[in-house]
Structure 1
Amino acid sequence: MTAYNNVTIEKKGTVALVRFDRKGARNAFNQQTILELTDVARRFQDDLETQAVVLTGTREAFSGGIDLKERATRAVTAGTDLELRQTYYRGVRLCQAWEDMPQITVAAIEGMAVGAGVALPLALDWRVMGKGAFLYVPEVKIGINLQWGALPRLITLVGPARAKRICILCERMGAEHALDWGLVDEIAEDGHVVEKAMELASAAASMPAPAVRMVKEAVNATANALHKVSAYADADQSQLSTNFRTAQEESDKFVKGKK
């Protein structure tokens, strides 16, 4: 098994628990974490023993979103234009890798899930959320678009009007609200979210595996048929919008406000 810096994998029979933890920074996604989680998802592709996978962050935060400080240095550190574009598309590939996994996948969300921390769970099959947790999509507030392929997934789950409200008004959404709108599938007591997610995963893993995988593939093929068409350039749009004056100004305010 590959050793990762920010990701651990624990196998419990036919169910795997994947946990990512940056040991601080509100568990924000830096490039290393994105690459590690992508590699994990791809390794499960040929795993015939594991039938369900739970993904979680920490009890304090599933994820505070993308690491804005690291993002601000991309143009300087990336090198060529092609390398910079490759960096912007890593989040897209991360979510696609998790969506394409043949196993049933369950996100266990504690604390906060912000921006990219919402985008990744949307690529999974089911989501379990702690009673005291919240979802927050602040991209428009800081002058950029929602990417990582998240927007079409969000529209599929909640419909166009609610997707617009979530993205444009940037309102924090509690667990009951998220459940009512269909963004999450279960609510659990804080501190017991992983347990509930493991129960769901175990129930799925107890079913005949070939049939489960076929149904998942069929549902995804139907529900996600137009997703790539509508979001194929969202990382390019993100790179473009990051250079807007409004985005630079609002992003600076957002970072300072989190300190």
Structure 2
Amino acid sequence: MSFETITLAIADQVATLTLNRPDRLNAFTSKMHEELRAALEQIRAPGTARCLVITGAGRGFCAGADLSDRQPSNDGGAPDLGLSLEQNYNPLILSLRGLEMPLVAAVNGPCAGAGMSLALACDIVIAAKSASFLQAFCNIGLVPDAGSTYFLPRLAGRARAAGLALLGEKISAETALDWGLIWKVVDDAALMAEAGAVAKKLANGPTKGLALIRRALDQSWSNDLATQLDVERDAQRIAGRTQDFAEGVAAFLQKRPARFQGR
């Protein structure tokens, strides 16, 4: 399937989804959301991929929403931004978090607004040294969305989340790393190689077990200890019955690398 605003490449069980509007710093439009939904349906198909990498074309990751793409309301008044979230951004974030595979964001430049939300929705965020992160919403009188008010305080703590959201100041990749928002910072030229190596390791890993890890970590944010211990018990019960667990034990006993099949 061909796309206009994104590209999708799948090789060796790694899906690489590239936001492809470099002239607009890959800002979201209704068309892009439509194509992202189609791409995620393709990625979700059984046997298609075991890891997803998200990046941006050109000099940026994603500048957030394209403000020129706004449509007036039916009565000619201000656009209903809540409807845009309900129809596009919220389903996108939920769809990504619902994938049964790890998500890697390769942030190659400016990462702002809903673009930053998209990156934070991924499991592992690797940023180029030239990357920057910006909660731009307050600068135009809006509220952080697409999951930012959920991810920010959990990753960076309330004080830093409040500073980012209320002041709208840009931070560097190194600061984002220091604040616990991202996993790693690398030289610009090494970004895609590093992201590719991480994605390859994840795609060759025990996919069902990795999906259970993602789910348990997500659930831990709202559970008390006793409830989370039950989550771990239930997840371990499922993981212990997978072929990959049997292979992992066999490889350990035989002192050889495990050959996981994602089953």
Q: Find out whether 1:177 has 2:178 as its counterpart.
A: no
Q: Assess if the C-alpha contact under 8 Å between 1:132 and 1:190 holds in 2.
A: yes
Instruction: Report the equivalent of 1:167.
Output: 165
Q: Assess if the C-alpha contact under 8 Å between 2:18 and 2:54 holds in 1.
A: yes
Instruction: Report the equivalent of 2:146.
Output: 148
Identity of aligned residues (%): 26
| Deviation per residue, 1:201-256 (Å, 9 max, x gap) | 1111222222112222222222366xxxxxxxxxxxxxxxxxxxxxxxxxxxxxxx
Q: Give the deviation of 1:41 after TM superposition.
A: 2.2
Question: What secondary structure sits across from 1:35 in the alignment?
Answer: helix
Q: Pick one of 76, 85, 89 that aligns with 1:88.
A: 85
Q: Find out whether 1:61 has 2:60 as its counterpart.
A: yes
Amino acid at match of 2:147: G
Q: Give the deviation of 1:3 after TM superposition.
A: 2.1
TM-score by length of 1: 0.78
5 Å matches for 1:204-215?
204-215=202-213
Q: Assess if the C-alpha contact under 8 Å between 2:6 and 2:18 holds in 1.
A: yes
CA RMSD of aligned residues (A): 2.4
Q: Pick one of 190, 193, 213 that aligns with 1:192.
A: 190
Q: Find out whether 1:100 has 2:102 as its counterpart.
A: no
Consecutive unaligned residues of structure 2, counting only runs of 5 or more, are 224-263
Instruction: Report the equivalent of 2:110.
Output: 112
Q: Find out whether 1:15 has 2:14 as its counterpart.
A: yes
| Deviation per residue, 1:159-215 (Å, 9 max, x gap) | 111100111111111011000001110112113322211111111122222211222
Q: Assess if the C-alpha contact under 8 Å between 1:38 and 1:98 holds in 2.
A: no
Amino acid at match of 2:93: C
Larger radius of gyration: 2
Q: Give the deviation of 1:100 after TM superposition.
A: 1.2
| Deviation per residue, 1:54-75 (Å, 9 max, x gap) | 000123110111111222x342
Aligned equivalents of 1:187, 1:160: Cα separation in 2: 23
Aligned equivalents of 2:139, 2:15: Cα separation in 1: 36
Higher relative contact order, structure no. (Cα contacts within 8 Å, ≥ 6 residues apart): 1
Q: Give the deviation of 1:155 after TM superposition.
A: 1.2
Instruction: Report the equivalent of 2:26.
Output: 27
Aligned equivalents of 1:212, 1:107: Cα separation in 2: 17
Aligned equivalents of 1:23, 1:132: Cα separation in 2: 16
5 Å matches for 1:42-61?
42-61=41-60
Q: Give the deviation of 1:142 after TM superposition.
A: 1.2
CA change 1:70–1:113 in 2 (3 A) is same
Q: Give the deviation of 1:23 after TM superposition.
A: 4.1
Q: Give the deviation of 1:149 after TM superposition.
A: 2.1
Q: Assess if the C-alpha contact under 8 Å between 2:53 and 2:199 holds in 1.
A: yes
Aligned equivalents of 1:97, 1:38: Cα separation in 2: 8
Aligned equivalents of 2:196, 2:33: Cα separation in 1: 23
Stretch deviating more after TM superposition (183-192 or 122-131): 183-192
Question: What secondary structure sits across from 2:189 in the alignment?
Answer: coil
| Deviation per residue, 1:101-131 (Å, 9 max, x gap) | 1110101111101101101111111111110
Aligned equivalents of 2:76, 2:15: Cα separation in 1: 34
CA change 1:196–1:78 in 2 (3 A) is farther
Aligned equivalents of 1:224, 1:52: Cα separation in 2: 26
Aligned equivalents of 2:25, 2:13: Cα separation in 1: 30
Q: Give the deviation of 1:85 after TM superposition.
A: 5.1
Aligned equivalents of 2:45, 2:124: Cα separation in 1: 21
Amino acid at match of 2:195: A
Q: Assess if the C-alpha contact under 8 Å between 2:16 and 2:53 holds in 1.
A: yes
